[in-house]
Structure 1
């Protein structure tokens, strides 16, 4: 995935209003914009219900189009059907070259798979509770917990606050090693870009922010026992290379 391709990519962001947080809309749009220009912005839900009121305050500021979908039967979610139909219409219009599906609902697994089968980039945004099949059906999946503003830790006068990983977050070293095996060159080194691509192939939900680091290079730099880092200057840009220690 080159920088030029990302700049040229046009992305449609489709939001399941019943399964997303209105307060994170700016962060979700910013995250999606990292991978292309967000040209279509739609959110689906029953706007006659009180549960959608939180969205009404932020939609106009971010030029997101609300799509009305009535709930014809109690207990049945018609939003996902409307969003899936719209997504297929957009897919066949050839107006975009990427999708962002915002939901934590497994009902979108087949949709994400169908988009990928068409050779179109698809990313997802949802909570950590999102079922794994939906996560793995995407090229990239971002957890909303990594988008939420971080609260500052409270420091006491006697102890210093230390950042600790979430209890349900596994250590990333085994995953990093597996990705390195995919990305390594004949000289025993792997570029950081290729390592990142390999990580997303293995686990689309991989995100260094899950482990407290904003960049992959900083995450790997934390594990000096296992990895060696090397930098290279290229036309004013610093390139990182990784080597697995014996």
Structure 2
């Protein structure tokens, strides 16, 4: 994404931990420029005290929202109203909704219908309807891992790192097949984009790898080929299902 791609970041302060905020904001800049950064909650509550210094450090604007009615989430309503106001202002190209709450599923769907890119960030407990309503969904747990932890094999049980399942492996196999040429090869960049469309929360970092290429190499069901380009320093990576991968689906 270009830095000219403006993103509104809306954070559900009542439903997201304050840990790893710096890493979260760094993650968002991969997709564009976070021109609007707001966090919603009742700042009279002691439970939100951990956020206060972090807001100053990351230039996030706190929005006060009192809980007027017992049993109703006023923060959700305030975020949704602001999101629609921002949408109609034509000031941004996309939204980042930071929450683990499925109440934002309809909002994510509506924003995408309006042509907005929608990135979701939340904990692994986030309900699937909200995840699939986003273009991409990133788990907070993987953002706090150090570089060394991310390089570890997924078989070693560590917080935030999962072992890739047969379902995800079959997702890779089918995506390569969907894009492959007559010889079975597919450009890895296109494969990654298609996987993301099929499963927004697919991220190689969930399995302990920074990039898709080493993850695919670790599985052992795929062939990888680097091809020269007109730019001598750059090579394109192509991937192919091994014959056995088809037979074991």
| Superposition TM-score, scaled by structure 1 size | 0.89
Indicate the residue corresponding to 1:111 in structure 2.
107
> Partner residue of 1:233?
228
The answer on 1:244 being equivalent to 2:231 is no
CA distance in 2, matches of 1:107, 1:62: 26
Q: Which residue of 1 aligns with 2:95?
A: 99
Tell me which residue corresponds to 1:156.
none
Contact 2:12 2:76 in 1 (8 A): yes
- What is the aligned partner in structure 1 of residue 46 from structure 2? 50
**Which of 7, 10, 25 is 2:6 aligned to?**
10
- Structure 1 residue runs without a partner (length 5+): 154-161
> Does the alignment pair 1:176 with 2:172?
yes
Structure 1 residue 62 displacement after superposition: 0.7
After TM superposition, give the deviation of residue 184 of structure 1 in Å: 1.9
Q: Secondary structure at the match of 1:241?
A: strand
Separation of aligned partners in 2, 1:229 and 1:35 = 27
Instruction: Report the Cα offset of residue 25 of structure 1.
Output: 0.9
Q: Secondary structure at the match of 1:129?
A: coil
Q: Which residue of 1 aligns with 2:32?
A: 36
Q: Which residue of 2 aligns with 1:189?
A: 185
- The question of whether the paired residues in 1 share the 8 Å contact of 2:162 and 2:208 is answered with no
Among 199, 202, 205, the alignment partner of 1:206 is: 202
- The residue aligned with 2:138 is 142
> Hey, what's the Cα distance between the residues in 2 that align with 1:25 and 1:91?
24
Structure 1 segments (4+ residues) deviating >6 Å: none
- Confirm or deny: 8 A CA contact 2:222 2:240 kept in the other structure: yes
1:182–1:198 Cα contact (<8 Å) kept: no
Measured in 2, the distance between the counterparts of 1:244 and 1:237 equals 23
State how far apart, in whole Å, the 2-side matches of 1:37 and 1:167 are.
Answer: 30
Aligned residues: 234
* Match status 1:22 vs 2:18: yes
- Distance in 2, Cα, partners of 1:151 & 1:96: 32
Q: CA deviation at 1:85?
A: 0.4
Partner residue, 1:83: 79
Tell me by how many angstroms 1:209 deviates. 1.1
| Cα distance in 1, alignment partners of residues 239 and 3 from structure 2 | 27
CA RMSD across the alignment: 2.1
State the shift of 1:208 in Å. Answer: 0.7
Deviation at 1:211, TM superposition (A): 1.1
Using a 3 Å threshold, how does the CA distance of structure 1 residues 186 and 118 change in structure 2: closer, same or farther?
farther
**Cα–Cα, structure 1 residues 152 and 242, in superposed 2: closer, same or farther, change >3 Å?**
closer
2:246 aligned residue? none
Q: TM-score, normalised by structure 2?
A: 0.88
Question: Displacement, 1:93?
Answer: 0.7
Give the deviation of 1:149 after TM superposition: 2.5
